[in-house]
Amino acid sequence: MTFSLAASLLLTATILGAIYLLMALGLTLVYGVTRVFNFAQGSFYVWAGYIALVLYKSFQLDWGLVIAITLGSMFGIGLLYERAIIYPLRRFAEWRWTAIIVTLGAALFLDSLATGLFGVKARLLPRIFEGVFEYGAISLTHHDLVILLTAVAVMIIINLFLGRTRTGMAMRGVAQDEIGANIVGIPINRMYGYSFAIAALLAGVSAVLLIPRLPLFPAMGWVIFVKAFVVLIFGGMGSIKGAVIAAFILAIMEVFATSFLGAVWSLPVCLIVLVIVLVFRPKGLFGVW
Amino acid sequence: MVTKLSKKSIFFLVSLLILSLLPIAIHDNRHLMHLLILCFIWGVVAASWDLILGYARIFSFGQIGFFGLGGYTSAMLTLQLGVSPWLGILAGGGVALATGLLIALPCLRLRGMYVGMATFAVHLVLPLLARAGRPIGTGGSWGLHSIAPLYVGGYTFSSLELVPWYYVALGMFALFLFVIYKVINSTIGLAFMALRDSEPLAKNLGINEYKFTLIVFAISAFIPGIMGAFYVHYMGVVGPEIFSLANFLLAFVMLMLGGTAVFPGAVIGAFPIIFLNDALFPLLGFRLVVLGAIVVGVMIGLPRGLMEIPEAINRLMARRTSKKMTPLPETNQEE
């Protein structure tokens, strides 16, 4: 293996890891605030991708508008999703059990709707920025650089949002103790809505960034979703540090498995990691919950 | 010996009698016969899923995986080694059972949606392995065809004459429903229901959590394995599509429509869904959209499925008289 091959594989792994991290962040945010595990996170990714595709290809908008409209509509979809299917469930005593079933049902609904409307053909978007950096043996496209910078920026923004703003702190309050948060006057319903909306927004960011590199098809959501989930389990639920480390370890394993064993092995490798982690350390690397 | 029959067993026996006399009237309508055979197969799959998801409340989403594994095992054994299809079906159940136990082992240490994701990930990986498994004879993306039909003595079943298939399917349907009913009402069933309702109490009473989790995984893997193998011999073909999300959704919507943990519920859900699925065929891809919407709609409106309808009507009547109550938030101290 030459140095440049190893470098480019590592670089690809870093980029994939960044995307998995964003998706995992969406899952963990929803789980933290509402204790609902949202099976539809992958479907959010798929829908964001198709919204962007339609805006770019059919309406021929330019990238800035495409991104703005996609992200805006994902935020709306997240709010609507919570209102339409999570909120009405909460009148039942054992609603968290039902919610797992319902989000899985909603995921299958959204996926098949995407399949029905857009077909199963894999599609790509052009890169947001063309051009390549060359530094010795390493080359990095501008688009990949944007992915990395955006991922880092999003992580920082989410961190600041949760740590510094009133809404963010209110969300953390709900995550810690829902009844207590309710007593001190935090609007719980709104916080539930925000957590799903932000999760959908993160799926939107991931989709817009990744679809120029990895083709989009309706089942793609599950591929990304399973990897985000493995990142969460591996890193430990509730730990950002764990998720970052896990995302990169997993992405490196995946990239090397894909280039030396074949693309079929990328998902089985994830599964093997999942089983090993679950058997030997179910809490993950730095698990809190 | 005279035994008193409960209402449930009379209902069961009468429906069985009707179903077994039905071919006299409809044996010329091959399409209807085919749909009923599918109802029997999927009804058993949904009922076995209910055993683990409803009664034991373990989020096993690997059910269709076991179904397909049973099918592939039997198809490969009969095609490559010329094994009798009957033995193939048994072997299919055996392989599903072994896989079920293998999956159960890591799941013993997990709870809630962790089990759900782990088993669902297995389900997602299986079609990839079936595609990549050409060297071991899975037929790759094309799958396998000309799988031997069943035979009894010198008589070989054919796809032209569905009556024998119908009776074998009905026989398996009756047998497995009886087994599932017996399991639910045995000490095994009581044990895993106790674990579901209050795990600490059940453990303190001396119920071995590991043992019963393994048992419920084994039973609910073996039965779909057998049915999957039968399905494959009936259809004559098997491909990676057997693991598709469409099949997953089909069994899932049956279970949710029928209701979880209300025994004949899942089976009763199977019949309308098979017929609906057939009626929706012209919609092609959008068929699954409707099924997905049913899952979500039923869970929001009738969380315990069709079996809850009488109760729901009472609730509606009561709501008219009393003012709408706002729900209290629940504690957040899970896990």
pLDDT at position A288, please?
65
Residue A207 has pLDDT above 50, yes or no: yes
- Picking from B124, B248, B300, the nearest residue to A85 by CB comes out as B300
Is the model's pLDDT at A256 over the cut of 90? no
CA distances from B202 to B109, B186, B207 (A): 17, 16, 6
Query: Which member of B128, B248, B299 has the closest CB to residue A101?
Result: B299
Calculate mean pLDDT across residues A141-157.
Answer: 91
Dist. CA B253–CA B291, nearest whole Å = 7
Give the pTM: 0.86
Segments making up each domain of chain A, as ranges: 17-221
- Domain boundaries of chain B, sorted by first residue: 7-321
Q: Answer yes or no: is pLDDT of B2 > 60.
A: no
Instruction: Calculate the average pLDDT of chain B.
Output: 85
* Segment B129-150, tens digit of pLDDT: 888 888 887 888 888 888 888 8
Confidence label for B334 from pLDDT (cuts 50, 70 and 90)? very low
Other CB atoms within 10 A of residue A59 CB: 10
pLDDT at B325 over 60: no
Q: Which residue has the higher pLDDT, B233 or B260?
A: B233
Cβ contact, residue pair B329, A111, below 8 Å: no
Q: What is the mean pLDDT of residues A156-161?
A: 92
Query: Taking CB atoms and an 8 Å limit, are B106 and A275 in contact across chains?
Result: yes
For the domain made up of B7-321, the CATH class stated in words is mainly alpha
Say what angle helices B286-301 and A95-118 make with each other, to 10 degrees: 160
- pLDDT given at position B333: 46
The SS3 of residue B168 is helix
List the single best residue of A34, A112, A171, A273 to mutate versus B (max B Cβ within 10 A). A112
DSSP A109-157: HHHHHHHHHH-S--B----SS--EEEETTEEEEHHHHHHHHHHHHHHHH
Nearest alpha-carbon partner for B169 in B270, B60, B260, B101:
B270
CA A286 to chain centre: 20
Q: Which residue of A has its CA nearest to B294?
A: A105
Tokens of B38: 């599918």
Bin B259: left if φ > 0, else alpha if -120 < ψ < 50, else beta: left
Say yes or no for a CB contact (<8 Å) between A271 and B122: yes
- In this complex, do A102 and B296 lie within 8 Å of one another by their Cβ atoms? yes
Contact yes or no for A141/A212 (Cβ under 8 A): no
Contact assignment for B329 to A226 by CB distance below 8 Å = no
First to last CA, chain B: 51
* pLDDT tens by residue, A174-189: 998 989 999 999 999 9
Q: Would you say residue B14 has pLDDT above 50?
A: yes
* Tens digits of residue pLDDT in A233-252: 888 877 778 888 899 899 99
Q: Which residues contact A60 (CB under 8 A, 6 or more apart)?
A: none
Is pLDDT at A103 greater than 80 in this prediction? yes
CA distance A37 to chain B (A): 7
User: Measured between CB atoms, does A89 come within 8 Å of chain B?
Assistant: yes
Q: Which 212-231 residues of chain A touch chain B by CB within 8 A?
A: 219, 222, 226, 229-230
Q: Which chain B residue has its CA at the smallest distance from A234's CA?
A: B114
Task: Report chain A residues whose CB lies below 8 A from the CB of B122.
Answer: 271
Rounded-to-integer distance, Cα A234 and Cα A287, Å:
9
Encode pLDDT of B84-142 as tens digits.
Answer: 899 999 999 999 999 999 988 888 877 777 788 888 888 888 888 888 888 887 888 88
Expressed in percent and rounded to 5, the helix, strand and coil fractions of chain B are: 75, 0, 25
Give the residue on A whose Cα is nearest the Cα of B248: A108
Residue B98 CB partners (closer than 8 Å, separation 6+) = none
Does residue B302 have a pLDDT over 90?
A: no
Segment 231-250 of chain A within 8 Å of chain B by CB: 233
ipTM for this model: 0.82
Put simply, the answer to whether B285 touches A101 (Cβ < 8 Å) is no
* CA A82-B288-B260 angle, 5° bins: 70
Interface residue of B255, B257, B298, B299 to substitute, partner A, most A CBs within 10 Å: B299
